[in-house]
Amino acid sequence: MVLSLPMRGHRAADSKAQMSEFVRTISRLGPNINTVSKSVGVFKETGRYWYKKKLLARGFAVQASLAYEMLGLKYIIMLVDFEDDFEQYAKPILWAMSELCYVRYYNRTLPGGKYVVHAIVPEERVAGYTSFFEKLKEKELRQKAEVTLHVKGKDIFVENAHEDLYAAIDQLMDKLDRQVCRHKDKLNNHHHVAAKRFDATPS
Give 77's contacts (C-beta < 8 A, 6+ positions apart).
116, 117, 118, 119
pLDDT band per the 50, 70, 90 thresholds, residue 148: confident
Model confidence at 199, pLDDT cuts 50, 70, 90, reads low
In this predicted model, what pLDDT tens digit does every residue of 101-129 receive, in sequence order?
888 888 888 777 888 889 998 988 888 88
Q: What is the pLDDT of residue 57?
A: 85
Q: Are 145 and 160 in contact (CB under 8 A)?
A: yes
55 contacts 62 by C-beta, under 8 angstroms: yes
Nearest alpha-carbon partner for 107 in 135, 79, 136: 79
Distance from C-alpha of 148 to C-alpha of 152, rounded to nearest angstrom: 13
How many Cβ atoms from other residues are within 10 Å of residue 6's Cβ? Answer: 8
